[in-house]
Homo-oligomer: A and B are copies of this chain.
Amino acid sequence: MKYKRIPDETVRRLPVYLRGLMFLHEDGQRNISSSKLADFIGVHSWQIRKDFSYFGEFGVRGVGYEVDKLVHEIKGILRLNVVQKAALVGTGHLGTAILSYPGFGVYGFDVTAAFDNNPKKIGKKIKDVTIVNVSRIDILRKKNITLGIIAVPRSVAQETAHALVKAGVMGILNFSPCYIIVPKKVKVITIDIAGYLARMPYYTPMEQKK
């Protein structure tokens, strides 16, 4: 790989930068200074400059960053310049929301497979994706899908992760509020929705102003 030394924290921020830059691009903006980009996406400008320094020099003094060049570069680093297929397990409210979520396409993701264990759901379609019995999760190998999204109840999250790994999945986005154990070669990102809210009271007063 070309960029080996990018810290995890920078990799975490790259999609945030990418999203902001894509919005700016849509709006017809061609160049932007690091301080204006910082204001727009809510990150310090020194942080942006430091993060970008890991993969080259894009800023031009007095002109700023070229928006489309940066979009292209970040997509390349994150390997989002090709369509990435993903599979969803669990088609309850959260799973359905994920399948309907307009944001995945923006990054080049296509959730093309969905699994459930509920006989009432199997065979039905959500957004053109037919729900398949989770017992057939092995088809992911034939479909060459290496990304999995877990949206099942906490009680079955671990066995779902195990099944995904057995089917060849190498990256798991876990929405169950629990830890799952996988082999070291598999990358897991756990999204704890409540955890994001948990840092809010630190920043906000607890009582309404009268």
Contacts and interface: CB of A to CB of B under 8 A. Distances in A.
Contact of A78 (B16, B189, B196, B199): B199
Nearest to A94: B97
Contacts of A186: 204
A199 B144 contact: no
Interface stretch (A58-66, A117-125, A170-178): A170-178
Chain B CB within 10 Å, residue with most, of A93, A154, A168: A93
A178 B26 CA distance: 13
Contacts of A94: 93-94, 97, 101
A84 B198 CA distance: 9
A130 interface: no
Range for the number of chain A residues in contact with chain B: 35 or more
A102 interface: yes
A191 to B, nearest CB: 5
Chain B CB within 10 Å, residue with most, of A23, A86, A198: A198
Given A146-B208, A154-B102, A197 B173 contact: yes
A37 interface: no
A35 interface: no
Interface string A191-208: 111111111111111111
A187 B200 contact: yes
A129 interface: no
A82 B40 CA distance: 33
A141 B168 CA distance: 51
18 contacts: A15-B194, A23-B178, A23-B179, A40-B179, A41-B179, A79-B201, A80-B201, A93-B94, A102-B154, A103-B177, A103-B193, A107-B194, A145-B208, A147-B201, A170-B205, A171-B204, A187-B203, A189-B196
